[in-house]
Chains A and B, each alone.
With several copies, the nearest count.
Chain A
Amino acid sequence: MTENELIWRIAGGSGDGIDSTSQNFTKALMRAGLHVFTHRHYPSRIRGGHTYVEVRARGEPVQSRGDGYNFLLSLGDSFARNPQDDAYYGTEEVKPLTENLEDLNEGGIVVYDSGLLDEEDLPEDFDERAEANDWHVYPLDLRSIAKEHGREVMRNTAGVGATAALLDIDLRYFKELMAESMPEDVYETNVDVLEDAHGRVAEMDHDHDVSVPTGDHETEQVLLSASNAITYGALDEGCRFIAGYPMTPWTEVFTLMSQHLPEFGGVAEQVEDEIAAASLALGASHAGVKSMSGSSGGGFALMSEPLGLAEITETPVVLVEAARAGPSTGMPTKPEQGDLEHVLYTSQGDSNRVVFAPGNVAEAYEQTRKAFELAYDYHIPAIVMYDQKLSGELRNVDTDFFDREPNPDPGATLTEDELSEAAHHASGKFQRYQHDTPAGASPRSIPGQRGGRFLASGNEHTPEGHISEDPDNRVAQMNRRMEKLDSIEQDLAENASHQSRRGDEDATYGIMTFGSQQGTVEEAAEEIEAFLESVDECLVVEMNASAQFKGLVQRELGRFGPRMSSLLKYNGNPFEPAEIVEGFEATINGTEFERPTARFQPAAGD
């Protein structure tokens, strides 16, 4: 693979600017015409602790982080704890190097900051391993180069300069990017650092095979994460209210929305907790504004009760669930897909919601828009589920992709004129919850509208919203609410399945997955059924320990259990392609799956 792709990893401590350096590096490669993909790994800690970002670049579109990587820029952790006997965290200083060696491919490059890491601090077997793996090691005193021209923090820039020299990347892109984001004087010193490091390394021996592929974009590209895309989807679909409470990784969408909403004529509210956040979203939506809230893990768990209130009062709302490794606080900065069942079923009584699990940046945008559309057309909560993996992935997308019209349509909502024609109780109260309506949703009014008054109640209610325990009314209301899912299934089948199938129609073996890799929608099971019908055996790939997605498919279809094997990963890191290959082989050939990082669960025998 080395010829046609670069997988570059920059490692250091939290708070050392790894994130922004990697982002500029990625943009530079994108501007140079490549397709890019990033993968972020960081600890639940503000300063220090081992963090890295991996950037994969190819001439072709990139879908995943790839297998291993081939260039390590190890910067040192300036907030490392001092080594101390018995302390379980060991020697943090060397972690930016040591923690990254396992995944480095044969023939890979290591650049480390010898200004922070003495040769004697290196692990004993380092030279041995380097030799065995044909690693090309470049100890460079990046720190001193940085200090010489400017400040110590600029060692990241020095590292980028060294990378450029080793891989023969034009410095132009880096300079442009720095010029765009830095004040003049900072820019100048950075350029000095960049060029100095570049110069020194350019003079060295380059006996490695790692190189940057070439590529060319037909149209202009932008670099975004799924968090950006969800935000933009919401804004374009007319969302003008958000309420939230910070929680990793949900905070990303919440922060972006909070920054943009005031200029978009909307309101963002940070409130006392997630129960309040979801309740505020309901209140604003009830009063006529397209609204959202969301959270992660435990914060979303607190939204369980308001979620049910949205279902029975038929208050449209979009919730984002940004999953992370559970249960409980779990591993707050690590990805996992363990919240699927929680999101589908939390809150008492029969669930009545739509769940989207977009698989990439473009889907995140499209599906967020669709979530709002369905929420407001059908008066149902729509949940966009994504995870740490997607929020940390930057990908390039055509700029044109975002050249769309915004949608100010408030959905199944009446104007005062329409209200004057609508069904009312003899007393003048609007029948907001009629028993029979074509598509499931009974159109709503908005407080302040003349002729629209009604009661929204979490109790079962009459067409006007008054509390009722009459069994016939109950059945009619339940049926109408439940029917929405059928209508939505049909709607999606006709208009936008959000499911994609790749490969041969006549394949004997299949692989199925959701979310971070591909999108799915609850209840839209028909396509999956057709797919499973067509294959003999299928591997279901998901990032959790209890095979929730496979369980969902089985729940919905009640068949195919004996055809489905599972590949499960829950150690805090997303899948690498090779693991899936091995799992797939285990499915077909019955070979042993031997990696300790994931678990293969064969299909239950017939």
Chain B
Amino acid sequence: MSAFNAIDTDREIEQEEFTPEIEPQATWCPGCGDFGVLKALKGAATELGLDPEEILLVTGIGCSGKLSSYFESYGFHSIHGRSLPVARAAKLANPELTVLAAGGDGDGYGIGGNHFMHTARENHDMTYIVFNNEIFGLTKGQTSPTSPKGHKSKTQPQGSAKDPLRPLSMSLSAGASYVARTAAVNPNQAKEILVEAIQHDGFSHVDFLTQCPTWNKDAKQYVPYIDIQQNDEYDFDVTERREAAEAMYETESALWEGKVLTGRYYQEDGRRTYHEEKMQQDSMPESPIAEQYFDDDHEWKRSYDLLDAHR
């Protein structure tokens, strides 16, 4: 018995099913990289044969956060920086759901940075997509934690004095088990990477370069880009942490100089997901907790059985 029949259906899924008829067109600005994420995600979900109703997509606040308005599935458009804690609990409540979290660079690396680090180390089996446009889009163009040093904005009129944060390196140190960077301008790679990330068992982090033509005009549009898997100059083993770390460092530094490197950086297989770790320690029930409430045969324990300690 399952109370959740959208999960693991074998219906044929069409890509259009992921377009909400109720709001089929995004309000992103013309030329915005966010369209690229939406398209890649629709493509990936279709390729994976996912049912819109077995996906929970949790987003933060920002232009990027509107993804859940434009992608048809169960959605949770939460608050700024908190998509990950909402998402990972939903996964614990029902591990059979496909759980995706998404948000901007401000949302995920700024205000939400700590949740990012802690979710990564726990290795929850979910995918986190960060729309990295190196800017705060929705609030009209302020410096973000990935904006290059010297970047001028209304709140940093003299230019940012801060070194930008290194999202890939941080992710690896924190413990993400799949780390990749792709770009809106590279739709095929983006879709493939999302497919891999969703398939990956564990926490997968995709740093998605999304140009913001409205507020980040000076920044490169992320072209030309180099796919490090396609380019002999960047030959390294994505399963080797040390090599991955170097490639990430180089990629992050290169971007500040205007050179756009993308691709898979790290993939650790065989590491237990958080769910598996908890099972291992008898601190997680075998079947999804969410099902208990729909299961008439479930045996409900009661506190009356615990009173011995109080006599």
A82 to B30, CA, bound (A): 13
A87 touches B21 (CB 8 A): yes
B141 to chain A, nearest CB (A): 9
Cβ of B13 < 8 Å from any Cβ of A?
no
Q: Which chain B residues border A245 with CB–CB below 8 Å?
A: 110-111
Known contacts A258-B154, A273-B114: A279-B80 contact under CB 8 Å: no
* B157 contacts across to A, CB distance below 8 A: 258-259, 262
Which residues of chain A from 27 to 72 have a CB within 8 Å of any chain B CB? 27, 31, 44-49
Q: How far is the CB of B301 from chain A (nearest CB, A)?
A: 5
Q: A266: CB under 8 A from chain B?
A: yes
For residue B69, CB closer than 8 A to chain A, the reply is yes
Could you mark each residue 73-90 of chain A with 1 if its beta carbon is under 8 Å from any beta carbon of chain B, else 0?
000000101101111110
Take A288-B290, A305-B79 as given contacts and tell me if A264 and B89 are in contact as well, using a CB distance cutoff of 8 Å. no
B302 touches A287 (CB 8 A): no
Q: Tell whether, in the assembled complex, residue B214 and residue A267 are in contact, meaning their CB atoms are under 8 Å apart.
A: no
List chain B residues, Cβ under 8 A from A235.
Answer: 301-303
| Alpha-carbon distance between A448 and B82 when the two chains are bound, in angstroms | 22
Cα separation A287 to B57 with both chains bound (whole Å): 12
Cβ of B259 under 8 Å from chain A: no
In the complex, are the beta carbons of B293 and A238 less than 8 A apart? yes
Task: Please tell me which stretch of B4-12, B217-225, B231-239, B262-270 contacts chain A, meaning at least 4 of its Cβ atoms lie within 8 angstroms of it.
Answer: B4-12
**Residues 264 to 285 of chain A near chain B (Cβ within 8 Å):** 264-277, 279-285
Q: How large is the interface on A (under 10, 10 to 19, 20 to 34, 35 or more residues)?
A: 35 or more
Q: For residue A376, which residue of chain B has the nearest CB?
A: B293
Contacts of A266 in B (CB 8 A): 285, 289
Asked if A135 is an interface residue, CB under 8 A from chain B, the answer is: no
Task: Report if A288-B93 is in contact (Cβ < 8 Å); known contacts: A87-B23, A258-B154.
Answer: yes
Residues of B within 8 A of A240 (CB): 289, 292
Give B170 Cβ to nearest chain A Cβ, in Å: 13
Q: Among the listed stretches B39-47, B132-140, B196-204, which one makes contact with chain A, having 4 or more residues with CB under 8 Å of it?
A: B132-140
Distance in Å: Cβ of A410 to nearest Cβ of chain B? 4
Instruction: Give the distance to chain A from B4, nearest Cβ to Cβ, in Å.
Output: 3
A236 proximity list for chain B (CB < 8 A): 302-303
**Interfacial residues, chain A to chain B (CB-CB below 8 A):** 15, 27, 31, 44-49, 79, 81-82, 84-89, 220-224, 228, 231-233, 235-236, 238, 240-241, 243-248, 251, 254-255, 258-260, 262-277, 279-291, 298, 305-306, 309, 313, 328-329, 399, 402-406, 408-410, 413, 415-416, 425-429, 446-459, 462, 464-467
Query: B142, A246: Cβ atoms under 8 Å?
Result: yes
26 sample A-B contacts, Cβ–Cβ < 8 Å, listed by A number: A45-B27, A49-B27, A79-B27, A81-B25, A88-B23, A235-B303, A241-B92, A266-B289, A280-B85, A280-B89, A282-B78, A283-B87, A287-B94, A289-B93, A289-B290, A402-B307, A409-B293, A416-B3, A426-B21, A427-B21, A429-B22, A446-B290, A448-B7, A452-B6, A454-B75, A466-B23
- Determine the chain A residues whose CB is within 8 A of the CB of B58 once the complex forms: 283
Residue of A268, A453, A462 with most chain B CB atoms under a 10 A cut-off: A453
Closest to A280 in B: B89
Q: Are B27 and A81 in touch, CB under 8 angstroms?
A: yes
Contact of A222 among B7, B289, B311 (CB under 8 A): B311
A247-B139 in contact (CB<8A): yes
Contacting pair B290 A280 (CB below 8 A):
no
Main secondary structure of the interface of B (DSSP, over half): loop
Considering the chains assembled together, what is the distance between the CA atoms of A83 and B72 in angstroms?
19
Residue pair B306, A260 in contact (C-beta under 8 Å): yes
With A251-B139, A329-B79 already in contact, 19 other A-B pairs whose C-beta atoms are closer than 8 Å: A49-B27, A88-B23, A224-B310, A272-B145, A281-B89, A283-B85, A288-B93, A289-B93, A289-B293, A305-B82, A328-B79, A329-B61, A410-B293, A413-B293, A429-B72, A450-B53, A453-B73, A455-B76, A456-B77
Chain A positions within 8 Å of B227 at CB level:
none
* CB–CB A238/B155 < 8 A: no
**Could you tell me if A408 and B292 are in contact, using CB atoms closer than 8 angstroms?**
yes
* Chain B residues within 8 Å of A447, by CB: 4, 53-56, 74, 90, 94, 97
- Report whether A268 and B21 are in contact in the complex, using a CB–CB cutoff of 8 Å: no
Instruction: Check A287/B79 contact, CB under 8 A, given A82-B25, A270-B143, A272-B111.
Output: no
Contact status A402-B304, CB under 8 Å: yes
Which chain A residues border B3 with CB–CB below 8 Å? Answer: 415-416, 446, 448-449
What A residues does B4 contact at CB under 8 A?
446-450
Q: Determine which of B54, B69, B306 lies in contact with A455 in the assembled complex, contact meaning CB atoms within 8 Å.
A: B69
**Residues on the A chain within 8 Å of B97, using CB:** 287, 447-448
Instruction: State the Cβ distance, B10 to closest chain A Cβ, in Å.
Output: 13
- Asked whether, in the complex, the Cβ of A46 is within 8 Å of the Cβ of B85, the reply is no
Which 5 residue pairs of A and B lie closest in terms of their CB atoms, listed nearest first? A448-B4, A283-B89, A427-B21, A288-B290, A232-B303
